[in-house]
């Protein structure tokens, strides 16, 4: 927990520095700065679009949780774990998100090695969803073609290989003979079996379809922010907003930076300047506002859940009476 706290503080500090840089870029000190003409009635609507995204992503999360056998976990407890995981994305490489699998293990009784694939599959299906959305405009920006196609090929390769069951079981049998991995082969088998179930065609297609709609919601939120900054209400602006947010989300995810900070902001600002507006102040303001309405809104929600759920950090688990009890296995 001490190491996790330090990593989280690093991520939060980096995020704050990036947001301050965007504020400087947008020239907040200027009397005529772009925020004075922003129509703030659009901001709550953008937050509503983010909540729509979170709602659908929770449906996917809970579907995955049920699919690995954690059927005794209530929807409310599952939602609490899901939202509590938002700030964990602010750790370098998002390694802190593995804590969601530990919480899931403590609260539902499923082994950690079976819960971890839920966290990974959730992120993986989100990646495929934003890949689908970025296809809306990626071929209009030739510099992005290689990265888009390479990511798509690697992602599909992971799915195909994971579903070749005889091959994967043979690899596990070979690993069983290795001195270090052999003692952990049961956990590795549990990890593979859960991953295999989550990446089967039917659940994968369901998750990607749900993710595509949910991330489209955030794209609409970005469109509303652009409208609030005075950009024209048109199909072209909407398409650009969805495309830019999808690409920046993907870039932020593969960057391994805490919350994608720095990489995502640079992608949003650069693509806005390239495809939507030549005004750097407007591009910087749009980036700042959408990150407040998405990343930082989610972090705030997660911190609220932390504050009202102390058992997450006391290593306790709920029981049917509504109280908590220490996990004897830890």
**Better-predicted residue by pLDDT, 47 or 172:** 47
pLDDT at residue 10 in the model: 79
Q: State yes or no: pLDDT of 330 exceeds 60.
A: no
Buried b (16+ CB within 10 A) or exposed e, 261-285: bbbbbbbbbbbbeeebbebebbbbb
Q: Tell me the pLDDT band of 31, cut-offs 50, 70 and 90.
A: very low
Q: What is the pLDDT of residue 28?
A: 57
323 falls in which pLDDT band (50, 70, 90)? very low
Q: Tokens in use for 148?
A: 């888009």
What's the rounded Cα separation, in Å, for the pair 242 and 138? 11
CA dist 148 → 50, 128, 134, 209, 238 (Å): 25, 11, 8, 19, 21
In this prediction, residue 27 carries a pLDDT of: 64
One-character DSSP codes across 226-266: HHHTT---SHHHHHHHHHHHHHHHHHHHHT-SGGGTTHHHH
Give Cβ neighbours of residue 231 (< 8 Å, ≥ 6 apart).
237, 276, 277, 282
Over 60: is that where the pLDDT of 69 sits? Answer: yes
The reported pTM is 0.88
Q: Which residues contact 190 (CB under 8 A, 6 or more apart)?
A: 111, 113, 114
Residue 329 has pLDDT above 50, yes or no: no
Q: How many CB atoms lie within 10 A of CB 314?
A: 11
Question: Of 58, 60, 54, which is closest to residue 198 (Cα–Cα)?
Answer: 60
Q: Residue 252: is its pLDDT beyond 60?
A: yes
Determine the 3-state secondary structure of 318 from DSSP.
strand
Q: Quick one: pLDDT band at residue 303, thresholds 50, 70, 90?
A: very high
Q: What is the 3-state secondary structure (H, E, C) of 33-89?
A: CHHHHCCCCHHHHHHHHHHHHHHHHHHHHHHHHHHCCCCCCCHHHHHHHHHHCHHHH
Mean pLDDT of 142-162: 85
Mean pLDDT of 247-271: 86
pLDDT > 70? residue 321:
no
Range in 11-20, 36-45, 187-196 the model is least confident about: 11-20
Identify which has the larger pLDDT, 176 or 194.
194
- Residue 326: the pLDDT is 42
Does the structure show a pLDDT above 70 at 139?
no
Per-residue confidence band for 61, with pLDDT thresholds at 50, 70 and 90: very high
Mean pLDDT, all residues of the chain? 85
- Here the tokens at position 131 are 């890949």
pLDDT of residue 314: 66
* Whether the predicted pLDDT of 168 surpasses 80: yes
Question: In this predicted structure, what is the pLDDT of residue 322?
Answer: 40
Q: Quick one: pLDDT band at residue 33, thresholds 50, 70, 90?
A: confident
**pLDDT (mean) for 206-217:** 95
- State residue 320's pLDDT score: 37
Give the separation between CA 29 and CA 137, rounded to whole angstroms: 35
pLDDT recorded at residue 97: 86
pLDDT at 176: 84
């Amino acid at each position: 927990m001490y190491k996790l706290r330090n990593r989280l503080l690093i991520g939060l500090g980096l995020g704050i520095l990036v947001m301050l840089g965007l504020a400087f870029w947008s020239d907040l000190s200027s009397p005529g700065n772009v925020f004075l003409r922003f129509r703030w009635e659009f901001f709550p609507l953008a937050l509503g679009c983010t909540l729509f995204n979170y709602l659908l992503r929770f449906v996917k999360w809970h579907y995955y949780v049920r699919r690995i056998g954690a059927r005794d976990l209530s929807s409310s407890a599952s939602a609490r774990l899901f939202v509590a995981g938002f700030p964990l994305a602010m750790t370098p490489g998002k390694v802190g998100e593995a804590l969601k699998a530990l919480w899931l293990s403590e609260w539902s009784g499923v082994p950690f090695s079976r819960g971890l694939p839920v966290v990974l599959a959730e992120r993986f299906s989100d990646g495929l969803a934003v890949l689908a959305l970025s296809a809306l405009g990626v071929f209009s920006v030739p510099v992005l073609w290689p990265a888009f196609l390479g990511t798509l090929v690697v992602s599909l390769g992971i799915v195909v290989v994971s579903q070749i069951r005889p091959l994967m079981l043979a690899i596990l049998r070979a690993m069983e003979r290795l001195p270090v991995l052999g003692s952990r082969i049961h956990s590795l088998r549990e990890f593979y079996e859960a991953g295999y179930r989550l990446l089967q065609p039917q659940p994968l297609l369901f998750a990607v379809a749900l993710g595509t709609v949910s991330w489209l919601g955030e794209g609409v939120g970005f469109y509303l922010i652009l409208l609030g900054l005075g950009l024209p209400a048109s199909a072209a602006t909407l398409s650009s907003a969805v495309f830019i947010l999808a690409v920046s989300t993907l870039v932020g995810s593969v960057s391994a930076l805490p919350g994608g900070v720095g990489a995502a902001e640079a992608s949003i600002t650069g693509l806005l300047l390239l495809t939507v507006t030549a005004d750097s102040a407007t591009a910087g303001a749009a980036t700042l506002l959408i990150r407040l309405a998405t990343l930082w809104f989610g972090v705030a929600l997660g911190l609220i859940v932390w504050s009202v759920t102390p058992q997450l950090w006391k290593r306790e688990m709920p029981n049917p009476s509504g109280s908590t009890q220490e996990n004897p296995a830890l």
